[in-house]
Amino acid sequence: MEILDKLINIALIAATLRTTAPILLVALGGSFTTKAGIFNIGLEGQMLAGAFFAVLGSIWTGSAFAGVACGVAAALAFALAFAVLVVTFRANEVVVGLALNILAGGMTISLMKAIFGTRGSIVGHGIVGLPKVQIPGAQALLGSWAPLVSGFTPIVYVAFIAVPLLVLFYNRTRLGLYIRVVGEKPEAAEALGISITRVRYIASLLCGLLAGLAGAHLSLGYITMFTENMSSGRGFMAVAILIFSNGDPLKVLAGCLLFGFADAFSLRLQTFGFPSYLVLTVPYVVALTALFALSYRARPKIIKETLASMQKLLSTDRNSVPADKNPQ
């Protein structure tokens, strides 16, 4: 019991919120493209570019917020490249997404080498981290619960406020509705004179915006440094969450909280002396198991159809009567 108390406490929940924020942001960004019918596997690269350029911007300008703006601009550039290739030139989404991910990985490493002459990570150099927002009166009102609402960097608040905003966006605004229509039934959009190309560009850029924020949070909010490949698969986890949540903001939130909790929990476990490599797999194992369990019942149609047709083949091979041969 004592160990459990040490493991699970308010600090852990606060850490969960902090670790959830980047993946929540990038997944919410991906929700735009998912809803618009684009399978965006390039989230990882956009996030990584965002993280790197946020650090650069922060060093150059000496301002954390200018750094965030730089990160977002870089992610937007990646999103625009993605949209041009996928929407305008109709290139394969997976190929383009993967290519941009590889580009982001390589580009950050070589720029790091060129600018800082180092490999591995950028620490110091006058990076300005994002300030923590202390909500006035939180301490007095909530006492020991205050760390749950106060003391996060601004991007954490943005991430969580974005969830209800996106619910409203998809349900009550024209653009949100059109994004859904374009993704779900492009022929309906076409028949009504909605430009599929324009809607998909907008969705891609909105995605880049949030992915850039997520990246900036990694390097300026989480910890104040950039390391090689620091998005470490969060963009791919976001893709997994998007597939299973179909881009619905509330389901995205649930999936991200689960992942964030496992992430924070694994950090906690490390302090108890578990082997770190094993511990680092925890968030991914937990998230994938949960997602698989959730989606098992709604497993893809193609698997169901394959099973059904195999059954038919087996039964007809024996020259027996098919199952649905009931008299009228």
Partner 1 sequence: MAVELTGITKRFGAFTANDGIELAVRRGEIHAIIGENGAGKTTLMNILFGLLQPDEGSIRLNGEATVVADPAVAIKAGLGMVHQHFKLVPSLSVADNVFLGMEIRRHGLIDHAAQVARTHELSKRFGLHVDPTERVGLLSVGIEQRIEILKVLVRGARTIILDEPTAVLTPQESRELFQTLRSFVAEGMTVIFISHHLEEVMEVSDTVTVLRNGRKVATRPTSELSKDELVRMMVGREVSFDRRPRAALHGDVVLDVKDLWARDDRRLPAVRGASFSVRAGEVVGIAGVAGNGQTELAEVLSGLRPASHGEAWLKGRDLTTLTPAAIREAGFAHVPGDRMVRGVDRNASIAANTLMGRQHRAPWSRSGVLDWKAIAGNAGALIKSFDIRAQGAADPVKRLSGGNIQKVVLAREFTNGADFLLIDQPTRGVDIGAQEAIHSEIMRQRAAGRAILLISVQLDELAALADRILVMFNGRIMGEVSGDNADEDRIGMMMAGVLPEPVAEPLS
Sites of contact with partner 1 (CB under 8 A): 168, 171-174, 177, 180-181, 184-185, 187-188, 191-194, 313, 316, 319-322, 324-328
Indicate the residue among 114 and 313 with the shorter CB distance to partner 1.
Answer: 313
Indicate the residue among 125 and 251 with the shorter CB distance to partner 1.
Answer: 251
Torsion angle defined by CA atoms of residues 30, 35, 37 and 43, in that order, rounded to the nearest 10 degrees: 0
Q: Which amino acid is at 128?
A: V
Indicate the residue among 71 and 247 with the shorter CB distance to partner 1.
Answer: 247
Minimum CB separation of residue 34 from partner 1 in Å reads: 13
How many alpha carbons lie under 13 Å from residue 296 in its C-beta half-sphere?
A: 6
Minimum CB separation of residue 184 from partner 1 in Å reads: 5
Distance between alpha carbon 221 and the CA centroid of its chain, in Å? 16
Minimum CB separation of residue 243 from partner 1 in Å reads: 16
**What is the distance between the alpha carbons of residues 52 and 49, in angstroms, rounded to a whole number?**
5
Indicate the residue among 90 and 325 with the shorter CB distance to partner 1.
Answer: 325
Find all residues with CB under 8 Å of 164, minimum gap 6, and list them.
249
Indicate the residue among 9 and 320 with the shorter CB distance to partner 1.
Answer: 320
Using DSSP bridges, classify how beta strands 121-122 and 226-227 pair: parallel, antiparallel or unpaired: antiparallel
**What is the distance between the alpha carbons of residues 301 and 176, in angstroms, rounded to a whole number?**
27
Minimum CB separation of residue 168 from partner 1 in Å reads: 8
Minimum CB separation of residue 25 from partner 1 in Å reads: 24
Indicate the residue among 5 and 324 with the shorter CB distance to partner 1.
Answer: 324
Long-range contact set of residues 97-101: C-beta below 8 Å, sequence gap at least 24: 97/39, 97/40, 97/41, 97/42, 97/43, 97/45, 98/41, 98/42, 100/42, 100/45, 100/46, 101/41, 101/42, 101/44, 101/45, 101/48, 101/235
Q: Are 237 and 23 in contact (CB under 8 A)?
A: yes
Residue among 197, 168, 152, 190 nearest 36 (CA): 197
Minimum CB separation of residue 162 from partner 1 in Å reads: 18
Residue 112 tokens read as 């790091």
Indicate the residue among 18 and 180 with the shorter CB distance to partner 1.
Answer: 180
Indicate the residue among 174 and 297 with the shorter CB distance to partner 1.
Answer: 174
Distance between alpha carbon 1 and the CA centroid of its chain, in Å? 34
Minimum CB separation of residue 241 from partner 1 in Å reads: 19
Minimum CB separation of residue 142 from partner 1 in Å reads: 33
From the CB of residue 20, how many other CB atoms can be counted at a distance below 10 Å? Answer: 24
